[in-house]
Structure 1
């Protein structure tokens, strides 16, 4: 399999990207890597060219660039050329740590949507602390600021597929992020989405979930509109990191007894920190496009890049995109009838 890499995307590109790709090359013997980037910046960093190819590009999409304009104007950028390689069948998947909006635009407008998927979404696996599984799927994380109820319904399908095929969760439990657990909570979009998902034959919907429950292990897939999902993700990450920092500060300022106790608890704190570390989890996946497209954190280091290559390998090995395409095609009438039933209920 071949993975197209945007070597210039990310806060520490191209150094950490190249280091991560070399780690992945040594770890995964059946992957070839295509590095797209500025030749004089990327080439000196590669230590071993085994299964690594450099495709020189002359432009870079910066983090502050307007996504759609950058994709259209910077046609020889590392990101756009990597996306074109996937579109034209020269690569099987696309990876970037760069501009999220530009990557979304490249995935949707260059690689293309799966027929039947109205809105591709950004999904990530987050840690689950008390449930039967170590992780759960959370989507949409910001691909779409606004969503229709039918989009949220489709996210239930896409998220369930990812949970089953990549995380190995059988019959994943799907919940809808809302401001209360009751059916009648939320705005009209979320009330309507709940109504549509309640009797969904396509996935195992078990009701609403509040943001405070996200990490408790009560869901395997959490569906959200892009605005709420992105806000909840950042609030959760920020709170977790701040709490760990405050615990560390409290231990260090509590005298000799506190420091001894902290030293004894250090392995436990390390385990929790590792579970919350995005470098361990891999990247966020754009679900609903015709090939695996994965975005890792902008400040990701080599370890995160290497882990994300393993995530992409799993997606390709398990034919995630092909299975989604097959399912959407087979259940096209079911999805359409669901929308028609919903419309009838709303206009009754």
Structure 2
């Protein structure tokens, strides 16, 4: 049975983009004819009404509106959505509420409208500040639009804002990568997501791979970039995220700490712990056509106990903070003895250290994360 209430977040997926990026394997669909955005909001609300019974009367601690391109939706529609969500499941008064935005789809009026609707954090998809790199990535904004959007975010009374930035881009050298980082640092975002481009199979890059930097160059980019960010007061708190003090993304922290989350919208995933200790995962219909016909749930299943240690640590070791031992018991409903042998092996290999209260991933554990996680399979 529940020893305490596991935190719960809400993820909302907006599936449309003006143009599909060649590296993107997210569930996004190119706008051809103008989608019925009003109808989609209606179905999001109905989707949530069906899922709320799985939440055990909890209060939402964070909301993340992702995509796709959520900033294609007007502030009025986002306001309507948040008002109705709060009627269905209470939103904590201090909840972090994020919306993703493309630099060319925002302006002062829309940003202000989002804030008035209740948005207090904006994540801006910059990816690069160099025109040739943006063109190769299929992005439809230019460097100045990215700078303007970030500067605009500074003028609002937001809880925080994030810039998404990539490295390891086609034909990128170390100077290119550090230039992008320097541009971002000069804007002074509270949070930076800085992650390496990976080629995914079901993408245009997957079928026609570009020339990417080799492993030695990637390592040099990471080392020099990490040093630059650290020098400017950014702390790496998870694999691909850096933040100023107290500016970590609370929504992502809940994911990585194996908290619960509702997922509504096309292709959204959810994880919901029940009062009997069972963990249910939900997957929503991917295509907008079916979703707009009211077919929300594609699949749901209960996670078997044997899989819980791997699932817990796959998330938890993405964070670089210590992992409390009691958190493993509270969120998997398994005793520590279940993983004694695996933990002992991880410590022996130098991937973890431990004390009475917590486990700590080592530098070796970070470098060989896949090998560490395989111990728990």
Which gives a bigger RCO, structure 1 or 2 (Cα 8 Å, sep 6+)? 1
Q: Comparing both structures, which one devotes a greater share of its residues to strand?
A: 2
TM-score normalized by the length of structure 2: 0.26
TM-score normalized by the length of structure 1: 0.28
